[in-house]
A and B are shown apart, each in its own frame.
Chain A
């Protein structure tokens, strides 16, 4: 039993020299298109009933095209999709809503578009109205709604009937926090009742929270299919590759001034991060004990050498920073040509996200008196949550929770 299976699925957009050739093809003439652009090719995967799958990939990797073929709005050029049961897609909420009609009329219209009969709609209407929770607004024209209210109605009707397969596109952040929770709870309910779930998102947390499997797409094919953690690591490596290459580009421009900023008496020769297993890593877990290795070479005679560093989040906010002046590890009178290896060991008590390391070689507690070298984004790494309890924020600060049952 499979909920969904694709066999060598492919989609090509055809370009003709003239539209007349296209028309001729419909009447059975064998005309070759001038160009075929394959946006999907050789897609093979099976989904078992009850599985929850996340589809990830860069923009333009073919995720949306795949979903459109699965939902049936696009026809594949080659291959087949087999689907067992009804499929419902929350690709864009509120499609076909009319601002002049009331919420109730729009629900009827929208459900009709999904193919439900009058009777089925009548039966489900009280539930939809209750789930949307917009009170008497339900019978007011849609144009008087706030966008959050529209989303509530749209989500309520889109999920009013439990489908065998539910497809959710990234726009799941509907309405306020309360309604977001409510909609997530409904999706979880569907899952528990055995529905198959397909989610497209860039949001690692959402996918890791809901999915037991992930598929990574790149340039129209599936390049990784496995458990979400493994797939995301791979995806992050892909991103890191792209990010560092862009960094290189900026270094060539005004970024070069940044790297060589400083007087050059001492320089950072090498910087890397080692995970708890002692391997060089770009992606570490929350709470993992890591080592930041910084190799410094001295080029000129100097009185003192102080290493400063700070770790910044993707917005550039400093998470933590210090220097060897404050830690009382100052190196006095280093000799020219000498090399020093700094190993900074610390637990990654950060929230999930992407971080950068900025390093500075100076002579005292500030870089104002002497600045040998200053480097922004000397190293990038990602923090993911693999084994800690779900949390939000930029700091991992897990509490001990003690609950006492008080008897009245």
Chain B
């Protein structure tokens, strides 16, 4: 484990510049550049808000503002985008980079680190632009917002852990790479992001407790929409889960890296 940390430190400049390059090159030669990165999730918000706000805004408890639903959506999407982007990228990471891994000897742990780096930058920019919209809509912030920092870190750890486990397995069983995007799409609709949790019948609501993304989304919504600290028990649960998953994934990653090269 300490070996991984040392190589991450040694390669810090490389990871930082690669994270930036990844964003820069994705939008190279487009006039709007990085703007597209933000337009995509914001357009999603606009679509849902336009179509569903009349149906759902009345159901949001404790929200007076008529833009309440849009803000609720953005809070959930901020969390979901970070999660699904990191997981999806990690899933195909080793398969995509196999060419490089076969020819150049460098610490492979730098690859997921670059994914985390570029997605954190991405998510930060998304947050800034959402915050701008919140202010325009007359929504206020408090110091509770600082909760977003540990929440982002935990969510990153969770997504990275899950993504790495799936990414490693995907090297050996390529079906995983095909199945996961479908599962993620279903998962999105099983998480109260677009709809409030209270429209789910009481009977099924307990089941949601087993969905870690429910707790993450709820924590984001608590902090951003209601200005309240998130539920401490839930944080403990997802925090423990994220750390555990991260350790499992790093263990798996170390064990597999030798054979991974044989198969790639």
Contact = CB atoms under 8 A, between A and B. Distances in A.
A112 B18 contact: yes
B252 interface: yes
A206 interface: no
Interface centre among A14, A72, A112, A114 (most CB of B within 10 A): A112
Contacts of A115: 10-11, 14, 106
A83 to B, nearest CB: 11
Nearest to B110: A113
Contacts of B258: 75
Nearest to B25: A100
Nearest to A74: B261
Contacts of A105: 21
Interface in A370-388: none
A68 B13 contact: no
B21 A113 contact: no
Interface string B18-60: 1001001100110000000000000000000000000000000
A96 interface: yes
Contacts of A27: 255
A73 B262 contact: no
A73 B102 CA distance: 6
B31 to A, nearest CB: 15
Given A26-B252, A112-B17, A73 B173 contact: no
A289 interface: no
Interface in B86-130: 99-106
B178 interface: no
A257 B252 CA distance: 63
A91 B103 contact: yes
B247 to A, nearest CB: 14
Interface residues of B, number: 29
A114 B255 contact: no
Given A73-B261, A100-B28, A109-B21, A95 B104 contact: yes
Interface centre among B21, B29, B104, B172 (most CB of A within 10 A): B104
Contact of B262 (A19, A74, A96): A74
Contacts of B259: 14, 22
B256 interface: yes
A116 to B, nearest CB: 9
Given A73-B103, A92-B103, A22 B18 contact: no
B172 A19 contact: yes
A117 B41 CA distance: 36
A13 interface: yes
Nearest to B28: A100
Contacts of B100: 95-96, 113
A163 B180 CA distance: 43
Contacts of A108: 17
A374 to B, nearest CB: 50
Nearest to A117: B13
A118 B13 CA distance: 6
A98 B23 CA distance: 12
Contacts of A183: none
Contacts of B105: 71-73, 89
Contacts of A118: 13
Interface string A96-133: 10101100010011001111011000000000000000
Contacts of B21: 98, 101, 105, 109
A19 B170 CA distance: 11
A22 B104 contact: no
B104 A113 contact: yes
A262 to B, nearest CB: 54
A12 B11 CA distance: 31
B131 to A, nearest CB: 30
Interface string A2-17: 0000000000011000
A257 B65 CA distance: 95
Contacts of A71: 105
Interface in A13-51: 13-14, 19, 22-23, 26-27
Nearest to B99: A95
Contacts of A113: 14, 100, 104, 106
Interface in A130-156: 141
A37 B258 CA distance: 16
**Which 4 residue pairs of A and B lie closest in terms of their CB atoms, listed nearest first?**
A112-B14, A26-B255, A100-B28, A72-B105
Interface of B: 10-11, 13-14, 17-18, 21, 24-25, 28-29, 99-106, 169, 172-173, 252, 255-256, 258-259, 261-262
19 contacts: A22-B259, A23-B172, A26-B252, A26-B255, A68-B102, A74-B262, A75-B258, A98-B21, A100-B25, A100-B28, A100-B29, A105-B21, A112-B11, A112-B14, A113-B100, A113-B104, A114-B106, A115-B106, A117-B10
Interface of A: 13-14, 19, 22-23, 26-27, 68, 71-75, 89, 91-92, 95-96, 98, 100-101, 105, 108-109, 112-115, 117-118, 141
